[in-house]
Every structure is written in C-alpha cells, then in structure tokens.
Amino acid sequence: MTVHNIYIFDRMGTLLYYQDWNRLKNSGMTKEEEAKLMYGMLFSLKSFVNKISPTDPKEGFLYYKTSKYTLHFLETPSGLKFVLNTDNHSQGVRDFLQQIYKEIFVEYVVKNPLCNLNEPIQSELFKTKLDAYVKQSSVFLTKSM
C-alpha cells in the first residue's frame, strides 16, 4: 500500500497545495498546467456523476479506480477539494482525507492568521505536519515492505 500524491484545491480551482511521495511517472507538463487539468477533470466528473446517478446523490463522486492507481476525492461544503492518489488496495482513505482536513488543514492553515485562504500554502509547519501525518498513517507503507 502506498500514497502517491495529494492535491488541495480551493473552491475557485486554485491549487493550494501539492506534494508527492511515490510518484513514478510525471505527466510531462508543468505543475500549474497539471493542476488545471486535474481540476477540470474533477469538475467534469462531479457533473457527470450527478447526471448519471440513478437516484439523488448526496456526496456525489467518491473515487475512481484504474489498473494502477485509485483517486480519492473529498469535497467540503465550503468547496475545498482534497484529492489523494493511492494504490488500488488502500482501505479507508476517505476517513483519512477527512482526518487530514480536520487535524492538519484546519489546525495549521485555517488557524494560522498569516495563511491567506485563497493562495497557495507557504507554511513550513503545515508542510512538515502533513508529511509526518501521511507517513505515519496506515495507508502509507512503501511497496518494498
């Protein structure tokens, strides 16, 4: 089990934060372009899921799976979007994303008056805390283990 990378977007589509851990392939474009592509895809996915759903959706899109990785998606009511790419065997990633929001994002970004909420996160504290939190989680175990 392993975590590949994380994206955090605000409700306007600005990439607030990106970090990767075990990324073996780059998409061949700059980070800004990739973030735009990712946000565009999520936006379309959300509308696609709402339309194709047979009954009324509440949370809408949860995850998608390909042959090599799974993309987990969490959107807060305020429009913040958390995207985590893991391998296909990870369990309970949605709860984990919720924990990241609650224990890392709210604690070290929202409660930090120097962090502007519409701009990419510069805080070193957030960075180290998130890194440590992901690395000690059950979802994160490198493939060699």
For other proteins, the closer of residues 69 and 133 by Cβ is 69
CA 32, 34, 38, 44 dihedral sign is: positive
Half-sphere exposure for 69 (CA within 13 Å, toward CB): 15
Q: Indicate whether 49 belongs to the interface with other proteins (CB under 8 A).
A: yes
Least separation in angstroms between residue 1's CB and other proteins is: 14
Element (H, E) at 142: none
Do 16 and 9 meet the contact criterion of CB atoms below 8 Å apart? Answer: yes
The residue within the footprint of other proteins, chosen from 11, 31, 64, 131 (CB under 8 A), is 64
Judged by CB under 8 A, the stretch of 11-19, 56-64, 95-103, 105-113 that binds other proteins is 56-64
Q: Indicate whether 1 belongs to the interface with other proteins (CB under 8 A).
A: no
**Residues 6+ away with beta carbon under 8 Å from 112:** 123, 125, 126
Interacting residue ranges for other proteins, rule: CB under 8 A: 4-5, 20, 22-25, 27, 34, 37-38, 40-41, 44-45, 48-69, 71, 85
